[in-house]
Amino acid sequence: MDVRSLFAAQQYAALRPATEPEPGAEGAGPRLASAVRDFAATLDEAESMATSAMTGDADPHALVQALAQSELAVETVVTLRNKVVEAYQELLRMPV
């Protein structure tokens, strides 16, 4: 066995734990799930407010405020989606 390959294997084994995630460190999964739940709650609130306004049970000012919040949430999600698609297309353009 070549000494250089043995040395490389030992170095790789020593550095391997540095590439593993730290215990207790959260990734993007829980934060993304929380953001999706918040987005759905915002849309549900706007929908229920619109239904209440149609039956005459809601204040028009509260309806406008709920619709503005839902519009902002949708614009934010669309912008995020566009950034993800743009990043994906950029990866596809990279030479292999």
Instruction: Read off the pLDDT of residues 47-89 as tens digits, 9 standing for 90 and up.
Output: 999 999 889 888 889 899 999 999 999 999 999 999 999 999 9
What pLDDT shows up at residue 33? 87
Evaluate if residue 24 carries a pLDDT over 70.
no
Domain definitions of the chain by residue range:
28-93
What pLDDT, on a 0 to 100 scale, did the predictor assign at position 42? 92
Query: Residue 46 CB: number of other CB atoms within 10 A?
Result: 20
Q: Tell whether the model's pLDDT for residue 1 goes beyond 70.
A: no
Residue 30 vs residue 11, higher pLDDT: 30
**Residue 30: per-residue pLDDT:** 84
Which pLDDT tens digit goes with each residue over 3-16?
A: 666 777 777 777 76
Quick check: helix, strand or coil at residue 94? coil
Predicted TM-score (pTM) of the model is: 0.64
CB 63 within 8 A of CB 50: yes
